[in-house]
Every structure is written in structure tokens, then in C-alpha cells.
Amino acid sequence: MQPELTLLPDLMSALPEIFLAVGALVLLMIGAFGGERATPAVTGMSAALIALAVIVLLFMPVDGASFGGAFVQNAFARYVKILTLIGSGLAIAMSVAYGRAEKFERFEYPVLIVLGTLGMMLMISATDLIAVYLGLELMSLSLYVVASINRDSVRSTEAGLKYFVLGALSSGMLLYGMSLVYGFTGQTSFVAIAETLARDGSSLGLTFGLVFMLAGMVFKISAVPFHMWTPDVYEGAPTPVTAYFAAAPKIAAMAMITRVVITAFEPVVLEWQQVIVFVSIASMALGAFAAIGQKNIKRLMAYSSIGHMGYALVGLVAGSQAGVRGVIVYMSIYLAMTLGTFACILAMRRKEGMVEEISDLAGLSRTNPMMAFLLAMLMFSLAGIPPLAGFFGKFYVFLAAVEAEFYTLAVIGVLTSVVSAFYYLRIVKIMYFDEPVTGFVPMPSELKVVLGLAGIFVIFFVAIAGPLVGAAGTAAKTFF
């Protein structure tokens, strides 16, 4: 018998994950036995479960590695997990009114979101190739199902199917890359891979595997050239699901990429840096130019999010502590801006139903001045105009890139953000200077809360920048 067999893994560091896993199973039972009537209760309890996980992460942090080094809890993991949980929790909250209006309230929806969030948390904490893959699949499978949760709508099912087929392909690439990395290093644990690489150096086969792995992972943050699915899925999926897709999974996947390249492939930094530089530039450029012609606001947000992933990757290219801090700060700000904007998109409802065209926002400043003001602030922030939050996000990533002497990358980033300002400002122009069309029905209170919080975060970011950037700095320090 091996001695390790008798050791019980340290479960305390994985307490939030265990809460979510057990809680999701309990909620599933409640839903299965309670039927349709249990849906509001399950929804409420899912949100409470996610809040509980946030509280555990905030007030009872237990750091350390567990499960034979496949799982690690540290400042970085906790910070990103809290962001992810906020994204998922608010996505559940924002879906309530929509689900009621469009008649697809089902108790499985919040349960799947909780399970998907669990997958994201495992992905963030993963320090082993197998753990990365399993966490990623748990997340992706939940996402495929919630994309087509409105199964009576052709657009929703089409979005789910498209996402599933392309996602399965990307998982295949990821697995293939992992098998090559395992073949050339003989290890699955990140630390051991880094040790082997530091000793033996890189080889052609390892680079091959690394590129395949990056392709599979970059698909999940929908960066160019693996972005094709994003506009279609964002447009087709029900809007609260799109809000969920745009926020939590991207943050988790970005954290996973950061951990993989910084911990496992640190010795071969030049090999992955060139890939990330290409992906970053291509995403920023495509996000800036392709969004110009969009008429549907969900498609516009899809291209916008592709661009924002490019900006966040600029920080990763630097590969330094400042760079990782930039990525974390950027993703925090991105979360607030995305959720706020989607709260507005969810509020675009007339008596006859939801509307999604940008032209439907015409004259919003006169029909709903408060919403118009906050949406305008969010648009200015997305464009990166000081002193709003979006500016600081870009500032920290570009700062890191300049410090690491990636001048060209920083210049390209600034130029593309000028181009992208065009379509963000066009929305402001439509809201303030076009003739009003019929107003929207009053906003549900939960959307008001989300929009209000996002607005406060974006406008008064200067006031909270110190503690937030400090926390991000502490999180980034765990890698170096």
C-alpha cells in the first residue's frame, strides 16, 4: 500500500466548491420533487448559495494546495472566484423577470448556472492538466445547455447547437495539446511541467502541444481567431444567458489561461508570448472594426467583448507581476461594465416584447433619462474615456506592456480603442440626439439595482481604485 492512500485530502481549502457542489445537488432534488412550483424557491436558493460561497471566500479564506496538488486556493484564485461568483449570481438575478415574461422559467436553469460556476471555480483553481480539462468541460456543458434553455425558440436552440459543436471541437484541440504536452514532459501537474521544461528546455513537439492548448483555451474567451461563434451565440441565446456568457466564463477562462502560461509554461515564455501577442492584436483589431456595422446591440456587445479580451491579453503578454495585475483589474472592470450594459439591454422591452436593435434606443434621454445617463456612462467607460473605470483598466494593461517594452502592442491597443470609441459613442448619440421612439416599459427592480451598482462602480472608480488595485496586486503576487 502506498502511504499517500491513507491521507485524507485537505477539504477546507475547497470548502466553497464543496458548498456549491452539494448545494446544487440538493437544489436539483428540491426542483425534481417540487416541480414547476419550486422554481422561484430554487432560483432564490441558488443565488443564496452563490452569496454563501462569496462570504466563505471573503471571510474564511483557507489557502493551500489540495487533492494531490491538482487544486490550489490562493489570493489569485479567491479574487477571480469572487468576480466569477458575482457575475453568476447577478446573472441569475437578472434572469428572473425575463424568464417570467418569456415563459421559460425552469428550475434547472439556476441549478445549471450553479454547476457551471462550480466548473469555473475548479478551472480557476486547477494546477493540473486533468483538472483544467474537467473544470472546463463542467463549465462548457452547462453553458451549452443554458444557451438553448429556451428550447421553443429556434434562435436559442440554434445558438446552443452552434456553441456545442464548436465548443466540442475546441475541447478536442485542448485535449490533443494536453496529450502532446504530457507526451513531451511526462507530467500533468503544472509545477512538474515547469520543472521539466526548466531542465530540458523546449522542443518542437511541446510547442505544438502548447499552441493546441492555447487554441482550445482561447476559444473560451472568444479571442480571434477562435471568435466565430460569439456573435451568433450572443444574439441567439436568451438575453440573461448572454449576460452570463459575457461575464463569468470569460473571467474564469482568462484566469485559467493566466495560470497555465505563467505557472506551467513559465520556462518557455517566448513560445507562448508570440501566440498571445498575435491573438491580442487580432482581437483588438477585429473587435474595433467588425462592431462598426452592427445593428443588433447583442451582436455589438459580442464584438465589443472580443475586443476587450484582446486588451486584457495585452497585460498577459507582459508576463510580469504588473501584467497579471493589469489582467485582473481589467477583468474586474469588464465585469461591472458588461453586467451594467446587459441590465440596460434586458430593460429594452416594449409592450409587444423585447427589442434588440440599437435604433430602438433612440431618444432614450427623454423617455428614461436615468437609464440613458447610466448607459452613456457605461459606453464612455467601455470606450476608455477618463475618469471612468474603463480608462483605468486599459491604463494598467498598457502600462505593463510598456514596462515590458512591448511598445508596438501598446500603440496598436491605443489606436484600436480610438476606433472602437466610434461605435460606443454612436450609441450615446442615438440616445441623446435622435428623435424619441416609443418608450420602454418600466425597468424591473433587480435590473435597476444591477445597473445602479455598475454605474456607481464605473463613475466613482477613482475612489475605490486604491483598494481594488491593491487586492489585484496581492493576487498577482502569488505567481511570482
Partner 1 sequence: MGQPAGFRPGRGGDAGLYEAPASAKKQDLQGHTEMILHALFFYLFAAVTVTSAFMVISSRNPVHSVLFLILTFFNSAGLFLMLGAEFLALILVVVYVGAVAVLFLFVVMMLDVDFVELRQGFLQYLPVGALVGLVLLIELLLVLGGWSISADVVASAVTPIPSLSDLSNTEAIGTVLYTRYIFFFQIAGLVLLVAMIGAIVLTLRHKAFAKRQNIAEQVGRDPKTAIEVRKIDSGKGI
Provide, rounded to whole angstroms, the least separation between the CB of residue 279 and partner 1. 20
Provide, rounded to whole angstroms, the least separation between the CB of residue 205 and partner 1. 5
Provide, rounded to whole angstroms, the least separation between the CB of residue 137 and partner 1. 5
In sequence order, which residues have a C-beta less than 8 Å from that of residue 154 and are 6 or more positions away? none
Q: CA torsion 313→317→322→325, rounded to 10°?
A: 30
Provide, rounded to whole angstroms, the least separation between the CB of residue 21 and partner 1. 7
Nearer to partner 1, 139 or 337 (CB): 139
Nearer to partner 1, 54 or 131 (CB): 131
Q: Angle, nearest 10°, between helix axes 407-433 and 369-383?
A: 160
Where along the sequence are the contacts to partner 1 (CB under 8 A)?
1-2, 4-5, 9, 21, 25, 28, 66-68, 70-71, 106, 108, 111-112, 115-116, 118-119, 122, 130-131, 134-135, 137-138, 141-142, 144-145, 148-149, 151, 157, 160, 180, 183-189, 192, 196, 199-200, 203-205, 208
In 3D, which of 326, 301, 306 has the Cα closest to residue 416? 306
Nearer to partner 1, 28 or 385 (CB): 28
Nearer to partner 1, 21 or 437 (CB): 21
Dist CA 312 CA 440 (whole Å): 34
Q: Is 64 helix (H, G, I), strand (E, B) or coil?
A: strand
In 3D, which of 265, 274, 280, 289 has the Cα closest to residue 326? 280
Nearer to partner 1, 23 or 455 (CB): 23
Nearer to partner 1, 49 or 458 (CB): 49
Provide, rounded to whole angstroms, the least separation between the CB of residue 58 and partner 1. 24
In sequence order, which residues have a C-beta less than 8 Å from that of residue 205 and are 6 or more positions away? 180, 183, 184
In sequence order, which residues have a C-beta less than 8 Å from that of residue 325 and are 6 or more positions away? 315, 396, 400, 469, 472, 473, 475, 476
Can the peptide bond before residue 444 be classed as cis, meaning omega within 30 degrees of 0? no
Provide, rounded to whole angstroms, the least separation between the CB of residue 30 and partner 1. 14
**Residues 370, 285 contacting (CB under 8 angstroms):** no
